[in-house]
Chain A
Amino acid sequence: MAIEAIYFDGETSRDNKVLISLGPQGLEITGDTVSAQTWSLPGLRAIDPPYASQPLRLAHRRQPGARLIIGDRGFTEQLLAQAPHLRGGINPKRALHLFLWIGSGLTVLAGLIYLTLNFAPQKLAAFLPDEWSRRVGEQMEASLVEKARTCQSTAGNRALTALLANLAEGDADMPPLRVRVYDIPIMNAFALPGGRIVLTRGLLDKAAAPDEVAGVLAHEIGHVAHHHPEAQLVRIAGVQILLSVATGTSGGTNASSLAGLAAVLKSSRDAESEADGYAVAMLSAARIDPMGLKHFFEKILTEEGKPSGGALSRLGTVFSTHPVTTERIDLIKPLPEGAQIKPPITDAQWNDLKKICGP
């Protein structure tokens, strides 16, 4: 039983009238303007899934350019019964290909993410030339403190130098530092690339004793000694590259800086406990009471509930991305009974330091 159908050969746009029938080898096609041919059933492909009111459109693996259009419903049903794969649904081979492509893409992406966030930054940070860290640290400090005044006074500077010298007794290999106090009311301290440490007036105001400032400084020196600021720099750059991998664009600065911050959060927890460990060791070796650091952390914990606002919220994030937790506080233990403790600076020096930003 032969049925009329239309055949496009893919060479010209002419619609060839052909007769088709189902034979033992498959779909047999004959016509005046078309060479007789047989399309095997497994090689058939439906252009669109069969849909009641429209003719079935077929292609064949052996003749990728040709198309066969069958309008007859009865014949279509018969064909679909013998070649059910034409009904559509998921083509397992194509689905597998797709799965492999996307799967390998995602695997490469996951590997890159791991490398960028957890592995590479700390390894690369140690190799960054000092010149680079110095330059970047200088620019970061300038943009973070914005127009805030640098606090300086002869006596205050002397007190700060004395404090650092006493801390240095706790670590013979203490890295070279450049500590500055800025006239910023929000309580904060952070380490930047190139051995830069920034303290705020708010921090000095809130500190009840020199032990507390010594503790915070030791913690920030810990970051410097472990190259954490440099590692963070590498990490943020890596996240930006990753984002352009994922989105396929070089733009999107806003999104990338946000995501960058989120990525930094995770790994900086480890960095914080590393810096805590360094601080406790340094303080103990320098015979300074580590409880000062503990007291200061407790202060931050109570402060954290309050909202910070305005232009300084940018600085506020430095503490909020490195949250002080009770676990961290609990890890700071007092020096053993009978150990000799000395104040990090004299009371007079402490007074001078407190007044470094003016009375």
Chain B
Amino acid sequence: MADSLQSSGEPIRVEYVPRPGLGRLAFVNFLLNLVTLTIYRFWAKTNVRRHIWSCVHINGQPLEYTGRGIEIFKGALIVFGLFVLPFALVIAFINIALGPEHPALFAVYTLLYLAIFVLWGAALYRARRYQLSRTLWRGIRGTLVGSSMIYSLTYFGSILARGMSLGWTTPVLNTVLQEQIIGDMRFGDLAFKFGGRAGLLYPTYALCWFLSLVAIIIFIFLFGAEVTALFGPEVQKVFDEIFKPDSHPTSEQIWTASTVAAVVAVSFIAMFLVVPMLWAIYSAKELATFANYTKAGNATFKLNATAGSLISLVVGNLLILIFTLGIGRPFMQQRLIRYMCERMEVIGTIDVDRIAQSQAALDRTGEGLADAFDLGVI
């Protein structure tokens, strides 16, 4: 008793303690998804989360995922009935009654994309709220207490502002969005707080912005040089020959053509790899800064994110995706969670014994919009 009067709470330690069985889970999920024409995906997702959650230990106690496949299945059905089906029916009707070239079709598609943009933030927010409310630690669950529509409007506004400012408002907008969602976050009656200025992010943002501008200019220049070098009159002739109907190109011509195609493809791929890698510098800075700005109880957070480690996380996941043909997706999620666990530190203390259960009502279904939009939520 004297102990708890002195210091309120105890230090927090997060670790990832792997357990076997994820590979088997991934394979069984894959088979059942196949057999059920992907309807099983809701249960598959749930099983994977249950496994991964149970590997996250905070002060020795694991997290528990209490969601059910049926809940997100019903969530998807509701969104399907209220959102997907009406649009599909209207589009089919216009196709049949007014024709595939009728302007009404364009109007409906515009409306559809607008609705997706406007609801995107709500989909993110609700998916997060569902997951938090299904996450138990020491018998206590989390939640988001705010309004998903307010978040969604902010999110929609942020998309517009980002575009209009050529990206330069990104640090401010991301900070605002993060402040909204973290400010709404509760674990039982323990509130999370987020406070800090976006200004700290600007030097890194400017660096990445100009670096990628330079990279794009270099690539355009290189690409132009390549094209003139490679598409000289000689090569042009070869291409003309190959694409002629009833042509019988020689193996030498095919070789020239495929070399040219390969060089062009490689430089394109290089550009699409280099620019995101540059932006990893900013992402790392943002992750670390946002962790710093986050408070819960007497504790703040620290996330040791670096550009190099983020790149190897993303590239590794990409390789898993490609080489397992998507079957290994659970391992991608595991790597992400593991990354967060291993690089997160909690500084200060939280009174882990005195958190009271959350009084927020539980959603009965979840993630419908997130499923419809195919958001990459874990």
Contacts and interface: CB of A to CB of B under 8 A. Distances in A.
B356 interface: yes
B139 A67 contact: yes
B377 to A, nearest CB: 14
Given A10-B357, A12-B356, A248 B80 contact: yes
Interface stretch (B32-40, B267-275, B302-310, B316-324): B32-40
Interface residues of A toward B: which range?
35 or more
Interface string B4-41: 00000000000001011100000000000000111110
B139 A102 contact: no
Interface stretch (B82-90, B176-184, B258-266, B334-342): B82-90
Interface string A235-254: 01110110011111110000
B234 interface: no
Contacts of B17: 54
Interface in B50-79: 50, 54, 61-62, 64, 69-70, 73, 76, 79
Contacts of B352: 13
B355 interface: yes
A13 B138 contact: yes
A136 B84 contact: no
Interface residues of B, number: 56
A179 to B, nearest CB: 20
Nearest to A67: B139
B29 to A, nearest CB: 13
A258 B76 CA distance: 25
Nearest to B76: A248
Interface stretch (A138-146, A197-205, A341-349): A138-146
A309 B372 contact: no
Contacts of B54: 47-48
B8 to A, nearest CB: 14
A140 B80 contact: no
B3 interface: no
Given A241-B89, A245-B80, A140 B356 contact: no
B171 interface: no
Interface of A: 8-15, 47-49, 51, 54, 57, 65-67, 69, 97-98, 101-102, 105-106, 109, 128-129, 132, 135-136, 138-140, 142-143, 233-234, 236-238, 240-241, 244-250, 309-310
Given A67-B64, A240-B92, A245-B88, 16 more contacts: A10-B140, A12-B188, A12-B353, A12-B357, A15-B138, A57-B62, A66-B139, A105-B39, A129-B97, A135-B98, A136-B97, A139-B101, A237-B95, A249-B84, A249-B373, A250-B91
**Top 5 A-B pairs, shortest CB-CB distance:** A8-B139, A237-B92, A139-B99, A13-B355, A13-B138
28 contacts: A13-B188, A14-B353, A15-B353, A51-B20, A54-B19, A57-B64, A67-B136, A97-B70, A102-B36, A105-B39, A129-B97, A132-B97, A132-B98, A139-B99, A142-B101, A234-B96, A237-B93, A237-B95, A237-B96, A240-B91, A241-B85, A241-B88, A244-B84, A245-B84, A246-B37, A248-B76, A250-B87, A250-B112
